[in-house]
Amino acid sequence: MSDMIIETDRLTRDFRIRGKGTAALKRSTLRAVNDLQLRIAPGESVGYIGANGAGKSTTIKMLVGILVPTSGSVRTCGLDPHRERRRLAAEVGVVFGQRSQLWWDLPVRESFDILAAIHRLPGADARRRTQEVIEQLELTDFLATPVRQLSLGQRMRAEVAAALLHRPRLVILDEPTIGLDVLSKQRLREFLLTERQTHGTTLLLTTHDMGDIERLCERVLVVDHGSTVYDGSLGGLARAAGSDRILVLDFADATPDLIGIPHTTHLGSDVGGARQRLAFDSERTTAAAVLAAVGQQAQLRDLSIEEPDIEDVVRRIYQARR
């Protein structure tokens, strides 16, 4: 037996889908996860990214035993997630951004008490741990508030606390920061970092937020059509994805499309050319050189530089493969 905390071998999952109307009689098969090889060692923190529909959620569901693989194998914390689901539940904490583990009509505090009882945490230990997550996630102000009255940021922090109450060895977070304000994101990330440092918790998270990956993950996995297409560090990901930066240029007047500036690609024009977007390769030219070249052709009024977001990075990785 290996000592990996997550290990899959040719993990595959098909869904049978039916069309509508007369097509309902025909069934087709959609392969959501395809021969996935995943090996994650205890203590790692891994960002699992990919476009919508790339198979992230399906993989997570197989990792925790909600879905059964069509073929291949999966072991989580050394257990068969489906057969040994109840034992695994003690070792894993999961936060689904879209599903709540709290009782919507109960005060936050009571949800924690119930979960402590469900996980059979001994009284003194339950109190100590509850206090710990309350302090670190700064939940004190709304402990007596029913869950349904919480803001999204407050609720997500409470969700994370609920998922980590039983000190799981492995924490899986599916879009934990989606829709959160900057401050809530910050608190959540700090908590997860502390949790890793003090308990050696393994993190696996899916996200659309580059900040989550930068702050939390040492390793990034990019998945496309159910298979891993990139596995490595964040820095390596930027190199693999290309180092294009995007300049958004505002001009005083309508300007013809800026084609032919060295080492740039014209991405598009708005307002009759008064706003244009140019991608430039930061390894071959500089923003200053591009601006100088642009300045010779038009009167520049304002500009901004866009960092690549996760969708862009993922898209470029996908494109590079095809």
Partner 1 sequence: MTNFSETVDAPGRFAGYRAVLASRVRSQRSYRSNFAFDLASSGFVGVIELVEVWLLFHQVSVLGGLTFAQVLLVFGIADLCHSFADLFVGHCDTLPEYVRAGTLDVFYLRPQPLLLQLMTSDISLRRITRAGVALAALVIGLSINDIHWSVAAVGLLAVTIVSAIAIFSAMFVWAAGTQFFLIQGAEFTNAFVYGGRYAATQPAAVWSAPLKVLFGFVFPMALSAYVPALWLLGLPGPIGLPTWLAWCTPVAALWIWGFALFMWRLGVRHYQGGGG
CA distance 56 to 48: 7
* The one among 5, 11, 12, 13 contacting partner 1 by CB under 8 A: 13
Q: Which stretch binds partner 1 (CB under 8 A): 92-100, 212-220, 240-248, 291-299?
A: 92-100
Helix, strand, or coil (residue 284): coil
Instruction: Supply the DSSP symbol for 146.
Output: B
Helices and strands: H and E segment counts in the chain: 10, 13
Among positions 124-153, residues that touch partner 1 (CB under 8 A) are 124-125
Among positions 224-263, residues that touch partner 1 (CB under 8 A) are none
Q: Does 108 bind partner 1 (CB under 8 A)?
A: no
CA distance 188 to 55: 25
- Contact in structure between 135 and 112 (CB atoms under 8 Å): no
CA distance 17 to 250: 47
Q: Which stretch binds partner 1 (CB under 8 A): 96-104, 231-239, 257-265, 273-281?
A: 96-104
Q: Does 89 bind partner 1 (CB under 8 A)?
A: yes
* The one among 82, 245, 263, 266 contacting partner 1 by CB under 8 A: 82
Q: Does 20 bind partner 1 (CB under 8 A)?
A: no
- For tokens 């070792």, the residue is 91
Question: Closer CB to partner 1, residue 128 or residue 239?
Answer: 128
Instruction: Give the shortest CB-18-to-partner 1 separation in angstroms.
Output: 10
CA distance 209 to 226: 20
Closest CA to 171 of 135, 137, 195: 195
Which residues make up the interface to partner 1 (CB under 8 A)? 13, 15, 61, 64-68, 70, 82, 85-87, 89-94, 96, 98-101, 103, 105-106, 110, 113-114, 116-125, 163, 169
